[in-house]
Amino acid sequence: MSRFNEVKERTGTRSVKWDMTEKLFKSNEVLPMWVADMDFQAPQAVIDALTERAAHGIFGYTITDELVEGTIYDWLKKQYDWTIDTKWISYSPGVVPSLHMIVQALTKKGDNLLIQTPVYPPFYKVIEQHDRNLIQNPLIYQDHRYEIDYEDFENKIVENDVKAFILCNPHNPVGRVWTEEELKNMADICLKHDVLIFSDEIHADLVLSGHKHVPIASISEEINDKTITCLSPTKTFNLAGLQASYVVTANEKMKKSMDDTFLAQGMNMLNTMGITALEAAYKHGEEWLEELLKVIEDNKNYAVKYLNETGQIKVIEPEGTYLLWLDCTKMGMEHEELKSFMQETAKVGLNDGASFGKEGEGFMRMNIACPKATLKEGVDRIVKALENRR
Ligand SMILES: Cc1ncc(COP(=O)(O)O)c(C=O)c1O
């Protein structure tokens, strides 16, 4: 049996996804298909490396040495043909903590920061919690596909004297993997108006066939000089609980400000297990990742087919991520009614579309990174609940 078919019990492991079902969805019968982690075991090489490290039994302060840096360098080179200087690397427990630090380090209270909505909810928080102002450049939704509204992008930047743009690439939740041309168009506008780019590329490795991830900073030296890129093996290899990520910043001044901000919070190292997992995943995880992408593609095709066949849900065809953005507007329900339909009638635990912004009303987000049996169960519950509605 493929390792991706095994339904592994996660309840009782303090899993956010599985052990909070009752609390979040008011019933233990709800099938959790929400938060972005996977119901798959990490690559065997990662499990082995962690087991070996755990057996050593001493878990003192741990360094991220040149071997770890070399592993990151090799990964970025091989996966995206991006040649970095290892001096550009900083470490962080997560991409969300990095975004908080970056916003604090490189913008000031009252500054205007731009995001493309609907988008990953912490982007709103990262701006608002530090008393920066939120400027929104809604994506254009047409023919069940999302595009960039460049005119609005530039107008919003100019009208509001925007200082920084937080980019999500690949985009959560709409599943777009921005092309080099799209990225270049946005970057050119940013360069023209002196806007910094904070690029969240945590889903970079989760790109479906026919698409390619381009790190925005890799496009040109000028863009690289204005960009901070947040990356991590945690989404790719299902290591989120190990909290190990990194940030790539070529601009020395910007990097120093960010590093100083991290230090001012006493954050100067990663945890031992996180480092061990990062290294093992990047060194030995490629084959596992190839297999994973096939599984996600297959799950995607299954969910798209059966959900679209209902005629009441339209799945936005993702180019990347394992998150499906479901357009449920044809169901003709108010948003709150839609949420309770999914939770109470279909008994599936999805992410509330409106939590990604007001453009997400009438939408839900579904995590399909699970064994086929779990996916079938989730899709079937929705399909049956819709049939019974007729
Ligand atoms: C776009 C995006 N950024 C960041 C994160 C979380 O990153 P971390 O766990 O490293 O803080 C997620 C998780 O779903 C995400 O989708």
50-108 pLDDT per residue, tens: 999 999 999 999 999 999 999 999 999 999 999 999 999 999 999 999 999 999 999 99
* Cα–Cα distance for residue pair 33/371, rounded to 1 Å: 12
* 16-43+286-389 and 47-284 agree in CATH topology: no
pLDDT at 17: 96
Calculate how far, in angstroms, residue 9's C-alpha sits from the geometric centre of ligand 1. Answer: 24
* Closest atom, ligand 1, to C-alpha of 168: 1
Ligand 1 neighbours by CB, cut-off 6 Å = 36, 94-96, 120, 168, 172, 200, 202, 232, 234, 240, 245
Calculate how far, in angstroms, residue 95's C-alpha sits from the geometric centre of ligand 1. Answer: 6
Cβ atoms of 196 and 106 closer than 8 Å: yes
pLDDT at 339: 97
pLDDT at 1: 58
- What are the tens digits of pLDDT across the range 136-169? 999 999 999 999 999 999 999 999 999 999 999 9
47-284 — its CATH code? 3.40.640.10
Cβ atoms of 338 and 117 closer than 8 Å: no
Tokens of 218: 């890799």
**Ranges of each domain in the chain:** 16-43+286-389, 47-284
Is 271 strand, coil or helix? coil
Strands 363-367 and 323-327: antiparallel
* Closest atom, ligand 1, to C-alpha of 240: 9
Place of tokens 């806007």: 195
Q: Which residues of the chain have pLDDT under 70?
A: 1
- CATH topology for the 16-43+286-389 domain: Aspartate Aminotransferase, domain 1 (3.90.1150)
